[in-house]
Amino acid sequence: MEVVPQIWAVGGGKGGVGKSTISTLLAFWLARMGKKTILIDVDLGGANLHTFMGIKSPPRTLNDYITKRYDSLEDICITTEVENLRLICGASEVLSLANPHIAQKARIIKNVVKLNTEYVVLDLGGGTSFNVLDFFLIAHKKIVVVMPQPISIQNAYAFIRNAVYRRLSRLSSQQPYLQSLIKTAMDTNNELRVKTIRGLFQIIEESRGKDTADRLREEIGKIRPEVITNMIGNPKDKNAGQVIQLVAEKYLMIHPNNAGGVVYDKQINRMISEMIPLTKLVQSSDAFANGYDVTMKLLRDQ
């Protein structure tokens, strides 16, 4: 029987919050636990995950797959120094891939689930484009990275909000009126004065019936983001994930999980700048230990 790998997607609004660091730590610990893992850089416009693994010039990238130089994603996997961990590098050398055609994106998504591995960790690009959100939404674990700063918390919440609306839009693709209603509600200054998902569902129930509203509620209820707070400097910083939990439950009617946090470690910045693989992070590092704790929590919650 064909085994479908567990997909963990790591996103979180704009760049700079440490998505690639978290992706690398999660993939490393999964591999160290004996689980066959593939780490994929799907930041198609600014791929740099290979540098976190100490690779200057990748021999093969997603570009080779998209342009059909290779037939499968397996063919472009690169082995790493870590046992059980392979890497698929992104395609930053071709600017057009920042916005791949629907068919290209669908081909990548279709073949990710065919990879011969137990776990796939997707390092998503920054922002909330449909490409980023669609990769996020296919994942079994939808991970959102946030820094303990107000602007980062706002961006992370906006990322989750856009993911919810993207899911609703896809679900209503065969119902033009409903899709138009959802598209209108996505604008925070919409003419319907809808400010929350709860308000949107009330309008849907009035216009399309309770069954339609209940079906959509059930579907978005399946979106359970795992919030990881990165670069924690003091104990209060751990509250960032809880803030997103509370706001998302109140306004989006979904229930994120607080998956823990990773402390700030200046050694990580040095290693990235010097292109030393993050997998060589010294075991005395608190960030190294935090990565283990978060990975274990995510595994327990499967």
Angle between helix 130-137 and helix 150-171 axes, rounded to 10 deg? 80
Of 255, 229, 251, nearest in space to 241 by CA: 229
Q: What is the pLDDT of residue 95?
A: 47
Q: What is the pLDDT of residue 301?
A: 84
Q: At 134, list the tokens.
A: 């669609």
Task: Fill in the DSSP letter of residue 42.
Answer: E
Q: C-alpha distances in angstroms, 240 versus 65, 89, 115, 164? A: 38, 31, 34, 20
Name residue 8's beta-bridge partners.
Answer: 121, 141
Angle between helix 150-171 and helix 239-251 axes, rounded to 10 deg? 40
CA atoms within 13 A on the CB side of 235: 0
Q: State the alpha helices, DSSP H only, in the chain.
A: 19-32, 49-52, 62-66, 102-112, 130-137, 150-171, 176-186, 197-208, 210-220, 239-251, 266-273, 286-300
Q: What is the pLDDT of residue 94?
A: 52
Domains belonging to the chain, first-starting first, are 6-139+265-296 (3.40.50.300), 162-219 (no CATH)
Instruction: Quote the CA–CA distance of 45 and 59 in Å, as a whole number.
Output: 18
Query: Residues 198, 251: contact at Cβ < 8 Å?
Result: yes
Instruction: Quote the CA–CA distance of 291 and 260 in Å, as a whole number.
Output: 9
Phi, psi of 221 (to 5 degrees): -65, -20
Q: Looking at the chain, how many residues does it have? A: 302
Exposure string of 180-189, with b = 16+ CB inside 10 Å and e = fewer, is ebbeebbeee
**Tens of each residue's pLDDT in the chain, 302 residues:** 567 999 999 998 787 899 999 999 999 999 999 999 999 999 876 778 999 999 988 999 988 888 889 999 999 999 999 999 999 998 765 545 556 667 888 889 999 999 999 999 999 988 888 889 999 999 999 999 999 999 999 999 999 999 999 999 999 999 999 999 999 998 888 888 888 898 999 999 999 999 999 999 999 999 999 999 999 999 999 999 999 999 999 999 999 999 999 999 999 999 999 999 999 988 889 999 999 999 999 999 87
Helices and strands, number each (H, E), in the chain: 12, 8
